[in-house]
Chain A
Amino acid sequence: MSEPLLSVEGLEKHFPVTKGLLQRQVAAVKAVDGISFDVVKGETLGLVGESGCGKTTTGRLITRLIEPTGGKIRFEGNDITHMSQGRMRPLRRDVQMIFQDPYSSLNPRHTVGAIVGAPFRIQGIKTEHGTKKAVQDILELVGLNPEHYNRYPHEFSGGQRQRIGIARTLALKPKLIIADEPVSALDVSIQAQVVNLLEDLQSELDLTYLVIAHDLSVVRHISDRVAVMYLGKIVELADRKSLYESPMHPYTNALLSAVPIPDPKGRAQRERIRLQGDVPSPLNPPPACRFHTRCWKAQEICKTIEPPLETLATGHQVACHFPENAPATPEPAATTA
């Protein structure tokens, strides 16, 4: 396998909970609690999980919008974990972000030209035929009319605004794009347009994506590999096919079986795994395996020993004491990632 573009090792973010006059720290919200994964050039890694599992925090840590409390982030081999704002700036060209809400992520007082042209201005980049031409080319690339250069965001529909957001991230030809719920705020028919656009851009511009989403069917459609998060941990990481066809972690199984199927035939017979209760608070997560409070396979060991993330089949990592669909003997090369 080629050198990973992005490599994350034991990444942690604990938000302090403070109390009293002296702002003494009394607890910590372990939003992201030691996760490791690689993103290889040209692939799409999907990060799925329910609300509060830390997937958005992970995206913000990688873009260094918030400061990690532990672990390492390497981009193209360089350690960027605690790089200063000033030294990060040239790197920001290469790592860009698409946000969820196309309404709040665009400045209503700026024209489309100013929004998409901002990266050129900030990075001090001169283009051959001027910024305006460059911006119009990008607008065309994402399927917007270049003549709309002087319009304001409110003149566009939700789907078009999301295209403006995508155009902005593409301005400086980034290497890695982190898309945080890029389609969940859009109508179904528009979602498909944006998903197709992201795929086209990837093959055209040789992009690498980290897609953060809660919709398992969208993630299956766009990802090459998928990581499932639960309460700040990655519980399963595998290529698309093995994760969706033979999931090993009970949580992944439960997630997949909870997705409503748009097929009214046989809905009465459909077998479902029903999880009880809600996701526990990350302020006080269950000890050892964090899923044991809702897991139907949980035994004594799950409450005392935390299962490590192990490679049980080629490219298939799981953190569970009692994995399903696992091959009889673990691969000899099995190591903790």
Chain B
Amino acid sequence: MSFLELKDLQVHFPTDDGLVKSVDGLSFALERGKTLGIVGESGSGKSVTSLGILGLHKGGRAKLGGEIWLDGEELVGASAEHVRTLRGKKMAMIFQDPLSAMHPFYTVGSQIIEAYRIHNDVSKKVARKHAIDMLGRVGIPQPDRRVDSYPHEFSGGMRQRAMIAMALSCDPELLIADEPTTALDVTVQAQILDLMRDLQRDFNAALIIITHDLGVVAELADDILVMYGGKCIEYGTAEDIFERPEHPYTWGLLGSMPRLDRDRTERLLPIKGSPPSLINVPAGCAFHPRCTFEDRTGGKASTEVPQLVETEGGHLVRCHLPRDTRRSIWETEIKPSLEAS
């Protein structure tokens, strides 16, 4: 069994308007030392998945189903107290906005020390030394002085570094980064991405990086999972997704994105419409109202939910189009249109 394995995970929220199926049958596996990128638009269920793994839905309104296996332990059925002992030590999270994820009343150092001392029976002095070490490792200058600073005294990039230090302080084996660089400027983003790559190598952790930016996942991820309407619609290695994508939604994402590494195209090729409401997910394939190739499925798109099927060597696609049709559409229609005109 893999280090982390999700089997048919469901996270549903009952609301007055109906049942919101934020995550609806998600399965994947991740090994230590590997990076998984989860890509999707807002409301696709990517953040809800990560909170589910960390057990942060426990005690809330969410209804969880399926299984989450972390290093041989099942987490969906485990008690909140037990998951709490794993959080920080076994798994940790880097949030998008470090300013709201840190407590403004306490110094950065004391927040790292607190987390470290919960999981390790050490004196304050030892923990403080550890906090200084961690701040140094993530590239904060003069860590012995900055350890006593408050979050507001840090710049955005420094705060994100401090949060990474906090997440790594107990040497977690699973690290989930939810939009870790979205709030940052592009030069600082590059620094943080470098840092995460280096740290992952040093710590040999399993890393899940959640983002809407295909550029960021292309920089870091070994495998990529594309989510739409609470489901995985395509899964494969980074090369699979960028070189031989097979789902029309993935094509749409690639066409929507202006690219600096290629000549400028005359027009962007957006996906029509907008992401679905999770209360009224379209019947059949959730993507079919926005899909350009819906008419080639023989009417199945609006009636039948497609299954996630392996097309080749671990590359999974959830689409009604026959495999050969998908391949020929990609090669003859989509790929040429993405290259400069």
Contacts and interface: CB of A to CB of B under 8 A. Distances in A.
A279 to B, nearest CB: 7
B162 to A, nearest CB: 13
Given A188-B256, A188-B257, A278 B157 contact: yes
A189 B186 contact: no
A159 B275 CA distance: 10
B218 A196 contact: no
Contacts of B274: 157-160, 187, 189-190
B86 interface: no
A229 to B, nearest CB: 12
A203 B58 CA distance: 53
A262 interface: yes
Given A260-B215, A274-B190, A190 B270 contact: yes
Interface string A247-273: 000000011111111111101000010
Interface stretch (A66-74, A94-102, A216-224, A307-315): A216-224
Contacts of B190: 257-258, 260, 272, 274-275
Contacts of B158: 278
Contacts of B254: 262
B187 A220 contact: no
Contact-residue bracket for chain A: 35 or more
B193 interface: yes
A217 B186 contact: no
A192 interface: yes
Contacts of A199: 267
Interface string B147-167: 000000001111000000000
Interface in B32-69: 41-42
B196 interface: no
Interface string A99-120: 0000000000000000000000
Contacts of B155: 278
A50 interface: yes
A275 B212 CA distance: 24
A155 to B, nearest CB: 12
Interface in B222-264: 238-239, 242-243, 252-261, 264
A59 B189 CA distance: 25
Given A187-B42, A189-B41, A220-B264, A267 B218 contact: yes
A322 interface: no
A123 interface: no
Contacts of A278: 155-158, 188
A260 B219 contact: yes
Contacts of A274: 190-191, 194
Nearest to B193: A260
Contacts of A189: 41, 252-253, 256, 270-271, 274-275
Given A192-B257, A217-B257, A278-B156, A261 B187 contact: no
Contacts of B29: none
Contacts of A195: 258, 268, 270
Contacts of B221: 264
Contacts of A259: 186, 215, 260
Contact of B268 (A187, A221, A244, A267): A221
Contacts of A267: 218-219
A254 B264 CA distance: 20
A191 interface: yes
Contacts of A158: 42, 274
B334 interface: no
Given A189-B252, A274-B194, A260 B216 contact: yes
Interface in A155-190: 157-160, 187-190
A315 to B, nearest CB: 18
Nearest to A258: B190
A220 B258 contact: yes
Contacts of B291: none
Given A189-B252, A255-B186, A278-B158, A260 B213 contact: yes
A214 B190 CA distance: 14
A295 B156 CA distance: 20
Given A160-B274, A262-B242, A192 B188 contact: no
B63 to A, nearest CB: 26
A190 B256 CA distance: 8
A274 B158 CA distance: 16
Contacts of A325: none
Contacts of B281: none
A131 to B, nearest CB: 28
A78 interface: no
A7 B193 CA distance: 40
A25 interface: no
Contact of B260 (A193, A254, A256, A264): A256
B214 interface: yes
Nearest to B254: A262
Contacts of B324: none
A51 interface: yes
Contacts of B239: 264-265
Nearest to A257: B190
Interface of B: 41-42, 155-158, 185-191, 193-194, 212-216, 218-219, 221, 238-239, 242-243, 252-261, 264-265, 267-272, 274-275
When A and B form their complex, which 9 residue pairs have the shortest distance between CB atoms, in order from nearest? A260-B215, A192-B270, A192-B256, A264-B238, A258-B190, A221-B258, A50-B185, A192-B268, A189-B271
5 contacts: A189-B275, A192-B270, A244-B260, A262-B259, A278-B156
